[in-house]
Amino acid sequence: MDLAKQVFQVHGADKAGRCVLRKQLKRREVLRFFAGLAPCIVAMEACGSAHFWAREIARLGHETRLVPPAYGSYVKRGKSDRIDAEAICEAASRPAMRFVPIKSMEQQSLTTLRRSR
């Protein structure tokens, strides 16, 4: 899933890597969409809001993974949110990929406090 301010892009692939889903979601539709899906792996590029979404989506029974921004660069052509979502999906499927640990709300609060000093 590629995160944005208002409109998110979801790219789904099966175990063979074939595209099975492409969907554009507004922020208010994200949790309802993932609540209706069977448990799956949901990957996002790590950023401040990704930790929030990872926690919320994990509560719905999905496995969430955060891809480091430096490793999410599997973009083959152009630059758009839809293409970025596909690249994140491909990066997350790599067997040797290392993922960013998901921070709790408390950990994020402490990080914010430290950075503001």
Q: How many angstroms separate the CA atoms of 89 and 109, rounded?
A: 28
- Radius of gyration, alpha carbons of the chain: 14
Residue 35 Cα to chain centre, angstroms: 15
Residue 60 buriedness (CB in 10 A; 0-12 / 13-18 / 19+): middle
Give percent above pLDDT 90 in the chain.
62
Find all residues with CB under 8 Å of 31, minimum gap 6, and list them.
56, 57, 60
Q: Name the pTM for this structure.
A: 0.86
- The per-residue pLDDT of the chain, averaged, comes to 90
- Say how many C-beta atoms besides its own lie within 10 A of residue 65's C-beta: 19
